[in-house]
């Protein structure tokens, strides 16, 4: 199926986003958004985002690991909702792009983040797969025509980056293209850094996470881990260009967990919200400093 047909056969009432971050700013979300008239959604059905809710709780999360763990474990949903409500006004509909190795933690985090902010959620690899004719066709395309696959990937990101109020899980290899990295500058990019051993375990259970035959499910864990390590080294520099990094290992430490498997999706999601808050605060301070006396 033609990519343009897929991208223009989705929601007819996309969320509107105001003028975003038009002033000069040395972070990657300084580029103005140019709006399209329709929202790409070829493989998922979405309901329009609801207006943000207000929360009266005084719950807060401090930088102290012990304090953060106590507040968060008391009621993680309250902490998340309060933080999302706190940053919504300053975020002003700016889209969020999650980069990093494909894994269920990144995708679950993206979906939860979209729900909290009343944004739309997309997975760029899912859109590319739909354009190629399905998951198996996308794997074949990536393995036999890498250039064609990357061109489809870039076209998807071009469409998504032209809009606001989106949370996009970006395909793991998209950061290898300077064109794609430039497109991510239309929003806030965050590297979801998940340890490779966790990624490897997930890939063994679901090879389609990486859309590539480079990873062999028939291999042992050590073989899969080795293959992932090689891919990671190719993409690490691209991930590092993100506006912020959220490390699952760091989150586990802050919450007092010895095993990272014990960390739920809510933990790293809260860290993402805190990073967004930090970035928007810096942006606001720089805007105020630039005002004439």
pLDDT per residue as tens digits for the range 51-66: 433 333 333 334 454 4
* Of the listed ranges 136-150, 162-176, 223-237, 238-252, the one predicted with least confidence: 136-150
Residue closest to 201 by CA, chosen among 99, 105, 100: 105
pTM (predicted TM-score): 0.77
**Amino acid 290: pLDDT:** 80
- Do residues 94 and 29 make contact, with C-beta atoms less than 8 angstroms apart? yes
**Amino acid 209: pLDDT:** 73
pLDDT band at residue 36, thresholds of 50, 70 and 90? very low
Residue closest to 62 by CA, chosen among 71, 51, 74, 75: 71
**Amino acid 47: pLDDT:** 37
Instruction: Say how far apart CA 62 and CA 66 lie, in whole Å.
Output: 9
Q: Name residues whose C-beta falls within 8 Å of residue 288's C-beta, 6 or more positions apart in sequence.
A: none
Residue closest to 92 by CA, chosen among 165, 34, 167: 165
- Decide if pLDDT at 194 tops 90: yes
**Of 75 and 124, the one with more pLDDT:** 124
**Amino acid 154: pLDDT:** 94
**Amino acid 276: pLDDT:** 97
Instruction: Say how far apart CA 55 and CA 59 lie, in whole Å.
Output: 10
Mean pLDDT of 111-140: 89
Instruction: Say how far apart CA 38 and CA 41 lie, in whole Å.
Output: 9
């Amino acid at each position: 199926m033609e990519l343009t047909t897929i991208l223009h056969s989705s929601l007819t009432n996309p969320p509107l986003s105001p003028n975003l971050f038009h002033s000069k700013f040395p972070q990657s979300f300084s580029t103005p958004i140019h709006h399209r008239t329709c929202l790409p959604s070829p493989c998922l059905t979405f309901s329009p985002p609801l207006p943000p809710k207000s929360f009266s709780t005084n719950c807060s999360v401090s930088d102290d690991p012990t304090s953060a763990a106590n507040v968060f474990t008391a009621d993680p949903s309250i902490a998340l909702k309060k933080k999302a409500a706190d940053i919504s006004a300053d975020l002003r509909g700016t889209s969020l792009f999650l980069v990093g190795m494909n894994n269920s933690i990144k995708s679950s985090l993206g979906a939860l983040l979209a729900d909290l902010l009343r944004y739309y959620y997309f997975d760029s690899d899912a859109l590319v797969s739909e354009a190629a004719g399905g998951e198996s066709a996308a794997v074949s395309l990536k393995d036999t025509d890498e250039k064609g696959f990357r061109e489809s990937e870039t076209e998807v990101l071009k469409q998504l980056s032209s809009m606001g109020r989106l949370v996009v899980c970006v395909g793991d290899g998209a950061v290898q293209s300077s064109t794609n990295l430039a497109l991510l500058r239309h929003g806030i990019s965050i590297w979801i850094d998940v340890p490779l051993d966790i990624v490897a375990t997930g890939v063994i259970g679901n090879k389609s996470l990486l859309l590539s035959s480079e990873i062999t499910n028939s291999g042992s864990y050590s073989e899969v881990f080795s293959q992932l390590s090689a891919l990671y080294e190719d993409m690490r520099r691209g991930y590092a260009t993100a506006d912020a990094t959220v490390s699952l290992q760091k989150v586990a430490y802050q919450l007092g967990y010895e095993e990272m498997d014990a960390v739920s999706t809510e933990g790293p999601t809260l860290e993402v919200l805190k990073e967004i808050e930090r970035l928007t605060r810096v942006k606001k301070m720089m805007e105020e400093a630039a005002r004439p006396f």
